[in-house]
Amino acid sequence: MKKKVLLITIIALTLSLVSFYRYSEEILTAEDTSSAQTQQFTKINIDRATIARFFTQYPSLKKYQPDVNTIYAKRKFKPIWYNRTELIEFANVLYAKVNLLDEEGLNSQLPYKDKFDKIFDQNSADKPSQTDTEIMLSTVYVFYAQKVFHGVDTKKIQETGWFIPRNNISYVNLLDSLLVNPELLSKNENLVFNQYYKLRDVLKKYRQIEKEGGWNQIDSISEAQELKPNDSSKIIGQIRHWLTINGDLKRDSKLNVYDDEMMAAILNFKKRNDFKVNYPITYRHIRQMNIPAEERIKIIMINMERCRWIDPKLARANEYIIINIPSFKLIYKKNGKKELESNVFLGQIITETVVFSANMSSIVFSPYWNIPKSIVESELKIQIEHDKDYLAKNNIEWNNGNPRQKPGINNSLGLVKFVFPNSNNIYLHDTPARSLFDMEYRTFSHGCINLEKAKELAILILKDDPDWPIDRINDAMKGVKETTCILKHKIPIHIGYFTAWVNDSGEICFYNDIYLRDDHLAELIFSETP
């Protein structure tokens, strides 16, 4: 028995010694590896002089040097992109996203792309040094962030005379978040206004359509001619095929008859392209259909650029209003749900409605209209010269030397206006000119926005305010006395210019470029150098 115990003890001791030596060997190996990794890692030396030398070597990237300096200064010039000797996960995410820039609606190519590719080419024998790789990745990050989240250079946009609200993103702070969670770059839709991502999805669809050959041109008809339900012709078959490719029809029956199935598709086509929703097909509708897929792709890219100008927080607000000038539409959303859609009419070509963002702070019922000096000089004085009783006939009085129209049903502002202070002196208001909303092309105002469903909007905004029940709103809108309601919570409002817009059903809507802005922006986008 004693011999057996002794044998077991010897075996256990032997195994313990073997395990100890193996463990010691692993520790020594790990220490040697760690030492080697640390030694290799310390080869990356970043300072302002090193960064300057990098941009001397890659002069086409020099415009990004100030931002790269800022990024490293914040981190006390420590490396960012390496985890010991290996590149961090975000480096690979960034590489993948740069290779898909066309999906972001961008026309730019990264300078020295071949050098950037070698960093991730396992078979390359000519990789940049670790220091150059480190600075290159930071530079490419700035390049990508500026292109995707900022867009065309602000100065170039301002040279056109447009007032552009800009989506200001701190690339330095954004990088902090992305280093912790690289998937934010792929999955998070809070970095750009949410319409951008919807347009990006549609861009893929249209590029696929273009790849498959697009659509054939539809034979034209005369301006006097109309195609109506139950008509039969070769052109109807061509239109049916177009409706199928563009998603208004689920299938192409290849019939040349304008049947019930096609009637529903035509109504959908007209609704999403801002035509009067009825059945006749005219030359104007065919002209719209004959815009090639290539041009549609450009229009989508142009409007993705416009999304970069809007603060993404707008769509995350509990409630907000967006007015799209080319669609002549206002949309009011609350808690993620569309509460109201209304027709509007806007400024004429010579008094274009301006693009900007603001916050609605008050609603004025039965408002006075303080007539702007520009209208006094260009219109009112002429009217008074022709008719000395013009002021009295139009309920206009003098107030401290300035003319104003008194409250009433014929007041040019209607019975309610919505105030969002801005330097352009633009506001949203009701109107007595109700018949103008029946027109397809609604540019009639001096720049302000006339709203068809003004009362409905006021009721919805004040729905949860116990101080403003419907009875009080009705009394305030009798046109007798001006009454102001200060909103308890300001409502973000954006007046935008989108000639392509994806609706809540995921359908792409194309609108007329009423102020002829697309071509100028396209010139900036498609001619911009990196």
pLDDT, tens digit, for every residue of 434-475?
999 988 889 888 889 999 999 999 999 999 999 999 999 999
Asked if pLDDT for residue 12 goes beyond 50, the answer is no
Average pLDDT over residues 71-87: 91
Average pLDDT over residues 495-518: 94
Minimal CA–CA distance to 164: which of 316, 305, 329, 333?
A: 305
Asked if pLDDT for residue 153 goes beyond 90, the answer is no
Minimal CA–CA distance to 190: which of 178, 179, 208?
A: 178
**Distance between CA atoms of residues 385 and 381, nearest Å:** 6
Top pLDDT among 187 and 508 is at 508
Please report the pLDDT score of residue 30 as a whole number: 37
Please report the pLDDT score of residue 155 as a whole number: 66
Please report the pLDDT score of residue 158 as a whole number: 62
Please report the pLDDT score of residue 530 as a whole number: 55
Asked if pLDDT for residue 31 goes beyond 80, the answer is no
Please report the pLDDT score of residue 395 as a whole number: 87
Minimal CA–CA distance to 296: which of 200, 195, 210?
A: 210
Please report the pLDDT score of residue 171 as a whole number: 76
3-state secondary structure of 370: strand
Neighbours of 498 (CB within 10 A): 22
Please report the pLDDT score of residue 176 as a whole number: 86
Average pLDDT over residues 181-186: 77
Minimal CA–CA distance to 366: which of 422, 407, 411?
A: 407
Q: How confident is the model at residue 39 (pLDDT cuts 50, 70, 90)?
A: very low
The gap between the terminal CA atoms of the chain, to the nearest Å, is 86
Top pLDDT among 14 and 478 is at 478
Q: What is the pTM of this model?
A: 0.83
Sign of the torsion angle spanned by Cα atoms 304, 305, 310, 313:
positive
Average pLDDT over residues 49-53: 96
How crowded is the C-beta side of 350, counted as CA atoms within 13 Å?
3
Asked if pLDDT for residue 29 goes beyond 70, the answer is no
Average pLDDT over residues 350-365: 92
Asked if pLDDT for residue 520 goes beyond 80, the answer is yes
Q: How confident is the model at residue 22 (pLDDT cuts 50, 70, 90)?
A: very low
- Stretch (H or E) spanning 23: helix 2-41
Indicate the pairing of strand 508-510 with strand 416-419: unpaired
Asked if pLDDT for residue 424 goes beyond 70, the answer is yes
Indicate the pairing of strand 500-502 with strand 508-510: antiparallel
Asked if pLDDT for residue 215 goes beyond 90, the answer is yes
Please report the pLDDT score of residue 34 as a whole number: 36
Please report the pLDDT score of residue 166 as a whole number: 54
Task: Give CA torsion, residues 286, 288, 293, 296, to 10 deg.
Answer: -170
Minimal CA–CA distance to 172: which of 316, 310, 66, 304?
A: 66
Q: How confident is the model at residue 4 (pLDDT cuts 50, 70, 90)?
A: very low
Please report the pLDDT score of residue 496 as a whole number: 92
pLDDT digits (tens, 9 = 90+) for 363-416: 999 999 998 888 888 888 888 888 888 888 888 899 888 889 999 999 999 999
Q: Which token pair is 111?
A: 């300078």
Q: What angle in degrees, to the nearest 10, is found between the helix axes of 65-74 and 48-57?
A: 150
Find out whether 499 and 519 touch, Cβ atoms under 8 Å: no
Please report the pLDDT score of residue 21 as a whole number: 37
Average pLDDT over residues 237-250: 96
Q: How confident is the model at residue 26 (pLDDT cuts 50, 70, 90)?
A: very low
Asked if pLDDT for residue 295 goes beyond 90, the answer is yes
Distance of CA 387 to the CA centre of its chain: 49
Please report the pLDDT score of residue 230 as a whole number: 96
pLDDT digits (tens, 9 = 90+) for 466-486: 999 999 999 999 999 999 999
Please report the pLDDT score of residue 156 as a whole number: 66
Please report the pLDDT score of residue 149 as a whole number: 81
Task: Let me know how many helices (H) and strands (E) the chain has, helices first.
Answer: 20, 16
Q: How confident is the model at residue 161 (pLDDT cuts 50, 70, 90)?
A: low
Q: How confident is the model at residue 311 (pLDDT cuts 50, 70, 90)?
A: confident
Q: What's the one-letter identity of residue 147?
A: K
- How high is the mean pLDDT of the chain? 86
DSSP 372-435: -HHHIIIIIHHHHHH-TTHHHHTTEEEETTEEEEPSSTT-TTTTEEEE---TT---EE--S-GG
- Stretch (H or E) spanning 449: strand 449-451
Q: What proportion of the chain, given as a percentage, has pLDDT over 70?
A: 87
Average pLDDT over residues 66-81: 94
Average pLDDT over residues 22-30: 37
3-state secondary structure of 94: helix
Q: How confident is the model at residue 122 (pLDDT cuts 50, 70, 90)?
A: confident
Asked if pLDDT for residue 217 goes beyond 60, the answer is yes
